[in-house]
Structure 1
Amino acid sequence: MVKIEPFAVEQWMDTYETTPGVLNIAETCAASLSIADLAALAVPTVINGTTIIPPADPLSALATTRLTYGAIRGSSTLRQQVAALFDTGKDESVPTLPADNVVITQGAIAANYLLFYTLLGPGDHAICVYPTYQQLYDVPKSLGAEVSLWMLKKENQYVPDVTELNGLVQPNTKMIIINNPNNPTGAPIPRSVLEDIVRFAQQRGIIIVSDEVYLPLAHGGTLAPNPDEGESGIFAEVRESSPQPPAPPPSILTLGYDKVIATGSMSKAFALAGLRLGWVASRDPAIIKAILAARDYTTISVSQLDDGIARYALSDSVCESLLRRNIELARRNIRHLARFVGKWENKARVRCAWVPPTAGTTAFIQFSTVGDDGTVTPVNDAEFCLDVLKATQVMMVPGSRCFGQGNHFQGYVRIGYANETAVLVEALSKLDRYLENNIA
């Protein structure tokens, strides 16, 4: 029997997200859309001089589709659309990714599992950033590989320190695993650091796996323009001399090294988690061939309905407005969260500390209490989250329980801030009152 650790964050979500009346700011997807919401985002487009009017309802185009298994790799149109996502930020010398180098899967979680199942086993070694989604290091362990954790540090803005790879790499290192932008910290990996990781791996023939489920949501955080204010708004005036938001990181597939793999999905940045549709893509045809051979033992194809709706969402008529909606939501909501953290950064009895995220949908915030002698002690994050849930119905994820194996990131909680603005505002208001009444 395969020995694998309990998946802490998924078990936490499964246990508590159905709490009656829950205000779920543990959720990591941009606020979910209905089919009708998606259709409302569609706009006519002009292709080769012809105006294309999108269907009023994406399901209407699927009404006559015979529900066979469908294309094993995913429809050719969807694979072309996914491949096109990797053109952004690509060097001119790097060729366009062929659609044949994309495989459609049941979400990014299936994509990650499939590539680990295919490429890692006993005798292999992998290096994985930490903290991150537990699947990225515990599935390789369950397959018999040895995994070294590459610790991300607050003082380095949770950006990986490439110099540390020299102390982590082993003769049998087969894979470096990154998560860009990072879950739970919301920190993107800058292009210069990605280039250093690629250079390190390329010199040793090591595969790089990049989980990029949050990548399209590089929103710039509080340094980015406020979607609620025009160019002449107060925020725009203030930031004339302020730092500019960091440039969005490119996909690992844009940097010219063949032995790289990127995974993504329609769930987080595209707000369509209910489709259960993701992908795995690589510039190395041999890697794709091996993944396809292993896939035959796991699943035949994704649902034709999911494939069809994903095609609609990634079409020229919808994709740009869909991502704009989600980026504006993240920009708006991160300001609410920043105001909350700012209030509690220097309180007498309770403190909040964070690195403000500039991408993705999650923030990693440490809550601590301050003693009479000035000693700062992180809260017991699991007990804190449960007590807040019981008292206020506000749901968060405990950092040490779900991202630190019980040993690291004491006092941290993960908050998902890209949900409906009204939900986030109400949750933060209740959390604020909880701190005032119970700790401060």
Structure 2
Amino acid sequence: MVKIPPFEVEQWMDKYETTPGVLNVAETCAASISIDKLVVMNRLKTLAPPPVDFSRPMTYGAILGSDELRRNITKTYEQPGLPSPITPKDIIVTQGAIAANFLLFYTLVGPGDHVICVYPTYQQLYSVPETLGAEVSLWKLKAEKAFVPDVMELEGLLKANTKMIVINNPNNPTGAVIPKDVLVDVVELARKHDIIVLSDEVYRPLFHSVVDDEIPPSALSLGYDKVIVTSSMSKAWALAGIRVGWIACCDASILRQVAAARDYTAISVSQIDDQIAAYALSDDVRPQLLSRNIALAQTNLALLARFVDAHADVCDWVRPHAGTTAFLRFKRKDGGEPVDDVAFCRDLLERTKVMFVPGSLCFGGGADFRGYVRMGFVCETEVLEEALPKLSAYAKEHLAS
């Protein structure tokens, strides 16, 4: 029997996000959007077809995802003046990025394999390969290096049996971005040793604090066929409820293996979900939806930055540059000792209804991230405006002494 460790961040969210009156600043999706609002965003307005064709028979649909959806997904990887690095045949549509990641590990790694994974990151990315019998080494990101990975340290982690390097760009929970030059070095190192690169890009393209010419390309763009990218409609696209994600890779043999394994886990995604995702990523809707989410991120990040600056005696961070999350560290004013982040999050929720995710529990356990909390700041601005004054009052009363 496979021993599955608790998925701490998901269990924390499940336990507390339904607390009556909760001010949820732990959620990692850009503020969820309704189908009605998507329709309003369509630049064709009343001339546009509806998001869902209700006359269509509800068969399993296209097993790997509809042609329209996969075609629209390719457009999200285009760079100015360059074609997409992938075609629709390079994509398998899945039930969210979480299913995409699980399917890849289930298909590609097992006993005898070695996996290197950035850390901190979403627990699935290192716990699942370990559960499947692989040896996992954590490639630790450091606050003093702005949570940007060090390729020299990666090289030191390589073994003869290293099968896969796992990166997360933009990073959850820090909001850090792997710059293009570092990304190129990672891929070239992998190419040299014939290692698969799995790049979880679920927060791409929400680059809210990166100037255009410094936005790194998707790892798919770097010309190595053994790069695999996963993403979804949840985080940057504000549509978690439709449960649509994807795997993209230019290596046909990898996709064939994944497709064969997928037959045992899911036949296809919902036709209705597929149609809504295709609509949201269409040329007529996608630019407006992304602009809405980036503007929301920029507005809210400015509010959060003012809070951190005003409470520098008890709070610090590496300011995030992309995605929807920030990794804040809280400490006591006298002595500067990091708080017990688990107790802090529970007490804060009980007293103020403000909800965070504790870093030491949900992103590694032990003392690695003691005092850290993950905040999802791309909620509706009104939620943040209500939560931050409550957090400020709590900090003054409970952390200042």
Q: Of residues 286, 291, 301 in structure 2, which corresponds to 1:324?
A: 291
Amino acid at match of 1:30: A
Shift in Å at residue 436 of structure 1? 1.6
Structure 2 equivalent of residue 68 of structure 1: 59
Structure 1 equivalent of residue 164 of structure 2: 175
Amino acid at match of 1:139: V
Q: Contact between 2:201 and 2:229, CA under 8 Å: does it hold in 1? A: yes
Structure 2 equivalent of residue 429 of structure 1: 389
Shift in Å at residue 439 of structure 1? 2.4
Amino acid at match of 1:319: R
Task: Give the 3-state SS of the residue equivalent to 2:18 in structure 1.
Answer: coil
Task: Give the 3-state SS of the residue equivalent to 2:197 in structure 1.
Answer: strand
**For each residue in 1:159-209, what CA deviation from the matched residue of structure 2 results, as whole angstroms up to 9, or x when unmatched?**
000011221000000100000000000001100100000111010000000
Q: How does 1:252-267 map to 2 (within 5 A)?
A: 252-267=219-234
Structure 1 equivalent of residue 51 of structure 2: 58
Q: Contact between 1:162 and 1:193, CA under 8 Å: does it hold in 2? A: yes
Task: Give the 3-state SS of the residue equivalent to 1:369 in structure 2.
Answer: coil
Q: Contact between 1:87 and 1:254, CA under 8 Å: does it hold in 2? A: no
Q: Of residues 113, 116, 127 in structure 1, which corresponds to 2:116?
A: 127
Task: Give the 3-state SS of the residue equivalent to 1:170 in structure 2.
Answer: coil
Give unpaired runs (5+ residues) of structure 2.
none
Report the Cα distance in structure 2 between the residues aligned to 1:245 and 1:70, rounded to whole angstroms: 38
Structure 2 equivalent of residue 395 of structure 1: 355
Q: Contact between 1:126 and 1:173, CA under 8 Å: does it hold in 2? A: yes
After superposition, the CA RMSD in angstroms is 1.5
**For each residue in 1:208-237, what CA deviation from the matched residue of structure 2 results, as whole angstroms up to 9, or x when unmatched?**
0000000110011xxx7xxxxxxxxxxxxx
Structure 1 equivalent of residue 145 of structure 2: 156
Task: Give the 3-state SS of the residue equivalent to 1:378 in structure 2.
Answer: coil
Q: Of residues 306, 317, 341 in structure 2, which corresponds to 1:354?
A: 317
**For each residue in 1:292-317, what CA deviation from the matched residue of structure 2 results, as whole angstroms up to 9, or x when unmatched?**
01001111000000000001101111
Q: Does 1:198 align with 2:187?
A: yes
Structure 1 equivalent of residue 196 of structure 2: 207
Shift in Å at residue 121 of structure 1? 0.5
Q: Of residues 333, 338, 341 in structure 2, which corresponds to 1:370?
A: 333
Amino acid at match of 2:60: Y
Structure 1 equivalent of residue 136 of structure 2: 147
Q: Contact between 2:129 and 2:136, CA under 8 Å: does it hold in 1? A: yes
Report the Cα distance in structure 2 between the residues aligned to 1:4 and 1:177, rounded to whole angstroms: 20
Q: Contact between 2:331 and 2:399, CA under 8 Å: does it hold in 1? A: no
Q: Contact between 1:43 and 1:53, CA under 8 Å: does it hold in 2? A: no
Shift in Å at residue 355 of structure 1? 0.5
| TM-score computed with the length of structure 2 as normaliser | 0.97
Q: How does 1:259-338 map to 2 (within 5 A)?
A: 259-338=226-305
Shift in Å at residue 404 of structure 1? 2.1
Shift in Å at residue 271 of structure 1? 0.2
Report the Cα distance in structure 1 between the residues aligned to 2:67 and 2:103, rounded to whole angstroms: 20
Residues 1:292 and 1:89: Cα distance change in structure 2 (over 3 Å): farther
Amino acid at match of 1:121: G
Shift in Å at residue 400 of structure 1? 0.3
Report the Cα distance in structure 2 between the residues aligned to 1:399 and 1:393, rounded to whole angstroms: 18
| TM-score computed with the length of structure 1 as normaliser | 0.89
Structure 2 equivalent of residue 237 of structure 1: none
Structure 2 equivalent of residue 42 of structure 1: 42
Task: Give the 3-state SS of the residue equivalent to 2:331 in structure 1.
Answer: strand
Structure 1 equivalent of residue 208 of structure 2: 219
Report the Cα distance in structure 2 between the residues aligned to 1:77 and 1:261, rounded to whole angstroms: 21
Task: Give the 3-state SS of the residue equivalent to 2:230 in structure 1.
Answer: strand
Report the Cα distance in structure 2 between the residues aligned to 1:245 and 1:378, rounded to whole angstroms: 36
**For each residue in 1:354-374, what CA deviation from the matched residue of structure 2 results, as whole angstroms up to 9, or x when unmatched?**
000010000000000132xxx
Shift in Å at residue 7 of structure 1? 0.2
Structure 2 equivalent of residue 137 of structure 1: 126
Shift in Å at residue 246 of structure 1? 7.5
Shift in Å at residue 89 of structure 1? 6.3
Report the Cα distance in structure 2 between the residues aligned to 1:404 and 1:97, rounded to whole angstroms: 34
Report the Cα distance in structure 2 between the residues aligned to 1:33 and 1:119, rounded to whole angstroms: 35
Residues 1:89 and 1:284: Cα distance change in structure 2 (over 3 Å): farther
Structure 2 equivalent of residue 385 of structure 1: 345
Task: Give the 3-state SS of the residue equivalent to 1:267 in structure 2.
Answer: coil
Structure 2 equivalent of residue 229 of structure 1: none
Q: Contact between 2:85 and 2:220, CA under 8 Å: does it hold in 1? A: no
Structure 2 equivalent of residue 10 of structure 1: 10
Amino acid at match of 1:75: S
Q: Contact between 1:89 and 1:250, CA under 8 Å: does it hold in 2? A: no
Q: Contact between 2:179 and 2:216, CA under 8 Å: does it hold in 1? A: yes
Structure 2 equivalent of residue 238 of structure 1: none
Amino acid at match of 1:145: A
Report the Cα distance in structure 2 between the residues aligned to 1:88 and 1:7, rounded to whole angstroms: 35
**For each residue in 1:108-138, what CA deviation from the matched residue of structure 2 results, as whole angstroms up to 9, or x when unmatched?**
0000000110000000001000000000000
Q: How does 1:18-33 map to 2 (within 5 A)?
A: 18-33=18-33
Structure 2 equivalent of residue 48 of structure 1: none
Amino acid at match of 1:368: K
Report the Cα distance in structure 2 between the residues aligned to 1:210 and 1:66, rounded to whole angstroms: 36
Q: How does 1:105-116 map to 2 (within 5 A)?
A: 105-116=94-105
Give unpaired runs (5+ residues) of structure 1.
46-51, 225-243
Amino acid at match of 1:67: M
Report the Cα distance in structure 1 between the residues aligned to 2:367 and 2:70, rounded to whole angstroms: 41
Task: Give the 3-state SS of the residue equivalent to 2:116 in structure 1.
Answer: strand
Amino acid at match of 1:73: L
Report the Cα distance in structure 1 between the residues aligned to 2:247 and 2:212, rounded to whole angstroms: 29
**For each residue in 1:390-412, what CA deviation from the matched residue of structure 2 results, as whole angstroms up to 9, or x when unmatched?**
00000000000100223311000
Report the Cα distance in structure 2 between the residues aligned to 1:167 and 1:190, rounded to whole angstroms: 20
Report the Cα distance in structure 2 between the residues aligned to 1:102 and 1:164, rounded to whole angstroms: 32
